[in-house]
Amino acid sequence: MDCRPFFFKKFALFHHRSTMKIGTDAIILGRWVDVNENDDVLDIGTGCGLIPLMLAQKGIERADAVEIHRDSYEEAAQNFSNSAWKSQLFAVNDDIRRYAETCAKRYDLIVSNPPFFFGDNIPEKATKGLARHTNTLSYNDLLKAVKKLLKPEGRFALVLPARESKTFLQDAENQGFYLQKEMKIVPIEGKETNRVNMQLVVNQVDNVETETFVLRNPDHSFTKYYKDFLKDYYLD
């Protein structure tokens, strides 16, 4: 196994022990989320800690990163400690449902790259299933935890497959969340949307901001927009 770190422009991180490796979903979500410099952020299911590191580069004040899987938590803590923002990023080894019940803090921004497999579509590796299967953390459980932990004026951002995003939005509306903005992600020009970034709030929204993001050209090369979008993070 290749155990070298993955290098971005302003940080590097290991992801070999984490349940989910560094992937496009998390990278685009971390880049897409708008932050304020005084934001206190929570990342649910942080894995190796990628999203908090991306948001720290943007200038957030602090981030707590909750991770139920022990090896993933330890790797995130190591990555935070090795970064320029080690005094601002904190890994927590806990179940988000328990954390929501015991944590007195409220956050300006909560982000998550949550479980998204349904039914019997369970990955073979048990640890990967722990991170990615809704039998472990249902969307309703996730939303209940977010509602307890989010400030009244706070934002909740996440990424889901397009089909599952529709189910999630129904559950979110039932719990008093409103879609504020979304990014529809198209894997290859001419194909259908396969991922959706969503930002939700607890106050009624008049107009939902919607944009479409195309990753690759028909020849499978990355689009210019993709390259420009991530130029502050990816090495040339």
Render pLDDT for 164-181 as a digit per residue (tens, 0 to 9). 999 999 999 999 999 999
Cα–Cα separations (whole angstroms), residue 144 to 175, 182, 205: 8, 21, 20
Both structure tokens of 28: 């685009």
Cα–Cα separations (whole angstroms), residue 188 to 159, 211, 220: 18, 16, 7
End-to-end Cα, the chain, rounded Å: 25
Domain definitions of the chain by residue range: 15-229
Q: Would you state the pLDDT for residue 116? A: 54
Number of other CB atoms surrounding residue 36 within 10 Å:
13
Q: Would you state the pLDDT for residue 134? A: 41
**pLDDT bucket at 115, cuts 50 / 70 / 90:** low
Q: Would you state the pLDDT for residue 3? A: 76
Alpha-carbon gap, residue 92 to 145, rounded angstroms = 15
Q: How confident is the model over 127-170, as pLDDT tens digits?
A: 444 444 344 688 999 999 999 999 999 999 999 999 999 999 99
CATH topology of domain 15-229: Rossmann fold (3.40.50)
Both structure tokens of 158: 């996440």
Reported pTM: 0.91
Q: How confident is the model over 17-39, as pLDDT tens digits?
A: 898 789 999 999 999 999 999 99
Indicate whether 89 pLDDT > 70.
yes
